[in-house]
Amino acid sequence: MLPQPGEYGHETWENDAWQYTGDISSWAPISADPELGLIYIPTNGVTIDYYGGHHPGDNLYGTSLIALNARTGERAWHFQIVHHDIWNFDLPTAPILLDVNTEQGPTKIVAQPTKQGLVYTFNRETGEPIWPIEEVPFPSSIVPGEQLAATQPIPTKPAPFDMQGLSLDTLVDFTPEIRAQAVAAVADYQLGPLFNPPLHRDNPLGKISSMICPSGAVNITHPSVADPTTGILYVTSRSSCSARPLVSGEEADTYYDAPTGTTLSQYAAGRGGPSPRHPLGIPLWKPPYSRITAIDMNTGEHLWMIPTGETPARIANLPQLQGIDIGNTGTGNAVPMVATANLLLYSDVDGAGTPQLFAIDKATGEEVGRVEVPAASRYGMSSWTHDGHQYVILQTGSTLTAMAMPGAAVDSSGAH
């Protein structure tokens, strides 16, 4: 994954950092197009998260989508989704392949949902973006030795499906008092946009750390799914932030029982430390806390968005919220899904915390039914047919749970 001298992208590793820095791999599953003979590999960032002063440059092929020729292993095309990634924005799910009808006509696309709440979409044969991807300026770092990329690639379509940074305007505001408490909770933290630079301890701003939001809108625990007949992408995401201050490399060495004896990084992420909390135990930002967004990949437009599950009882029953209609906040859980021929199914809990399998109208987002299930599910789910009957397999902890629809025989040609 690290380009050697003379190879494409080698110049993106300054100060010969390619010799001693690594950790670029495919953490998420890969996808393949048998007809084109291409495989699509999503990669993670470079060692280490939150500080990259020891590996200056854009660092190909970190946090990139790479298309390789399956027979030869040669690179067909690539796109780096985050330059010099220090935010732990590795690509967390398998790329999704769809045949759609864009303004360019019938088009084979590959769509990559990301932790930062964006979907990057390419012609999967050529690597050309389906919709323009613009290099957008973001703040620079004040951490000694760190040199962030001046710009990051941001797609013009589809629109973001989750929070993009954190500001005073995006803090929870159920009541003026609740908003004031949220403002006070983040007073000692640096708010900012997507790609908010991390801060080191004892920084000149006097802040504890930066708020990096989202910290993982999409992740390996809740992969996106799609309907191959309509070209609609369903993204399940949850709003979250991280606040990791940087400490000296020498201090970070003490976190390990058997350090190497050589400190290569001037700074590293601190262990533990305070994070801002709302005194009522609710998220600091506005809901929904978890959601499903339907995106028409023929046009790049959002079709609908729904909160997942139901408002948790610990929030709904707060005395400070009695008599206030806060709507459905969503649970904030990682929600797995599967698209069938007729429905979108997802697993979450109701307001009482009981695990449910929810059935959703794929076109409208309307709930059409729910069934109680034995346990909460994570890391995806799948749909199968056997002897003319359809089954949904849930990944429930250390076991699998099969849900069946007896008597619901399906035409195997219509199942997917």
Domain holding 351, by residue range, is 223-238+294-416
In a domain, residue 234? The reply is yes
- Place 344 in a pLDDT band, splitting at 50, 70 and 90: very high
Q: What is the pLDDT of residues 191-224, one digit of tens each?
A: 999 999 999 999 999 999 999 999 999 999 999 9
Helix (H) or strand (E) holding 177, with range, is: helix 176-185
In a domain, residue 25? The reply is no
Q: What is the pLDDT of residues 232-287, one digit of tens each?
A: 999 999 999 999 999 999 999 999 888 888 888 999 999 877 889 999 999 999 99
What tokens were used for 123?
Answer: 């012609």
**For tokens 């929810």, what's the residue?**
358
- Place 406 in a pLDDT band, splitting at 50, 70 and 90: low
Q: Across all residues in the chain, what is the average pLDDT? A: 94
| pLDDT of 416 over the 70 cut | no
Phi, psi of 179 (to 5 degrees): -65, -45
In a domain, residue 272? The reply is no
Half-sphere exposure of 302 (CA within 13 A, CB side): 14
In a domain, residue 17? The reply is no
**Is the bond into 295 cis (omega within 30 degrees of 0)?**
no
In a domain, residue 168? The reply is no
In a domain, residue 401? The reply is yes
Our count of domains for the chain comes to: 1
In a domain, residue 156? The reply is no
Which residues make Cβ contacts (< 8 Å) with residue 201, sequence separation at least 6?
A: 245, 246, 247, 270
Question: What's the chain's length in residues?
Answer: 416
DSSP 13-72: SGGGGGGT-------SPPEEETTTTEEEEE----SSTT--TTS-S--TTTTEEEEEETTT
- This prediction has a pTM of 0.95
* 384: CATH: 2.40.128
Q: How far is CA 385 from CA 58, 191, 196, 225, 402, in A?
A: 46, 49, 46, 18, 12
Q: What is the pLDDT of residues 298-328, one digit of tens each?
A: 999 999 999 999 999 999 999 999 999 999 9
In a domain, residue 397? The reply is yes
Q: What is the pLDDT of residues 349-365, one digit of tens each?
A: 999 999 999 999 999 99
Give the per-residue pLDDT at 412.
45
Give the per-residue pLDDT at 408.
52
Which residues make Cβ contacts (< 8 Å) with residue 27, sequence separation at least 6?
A: 42, 43, 44, 90, 91, 92, 220
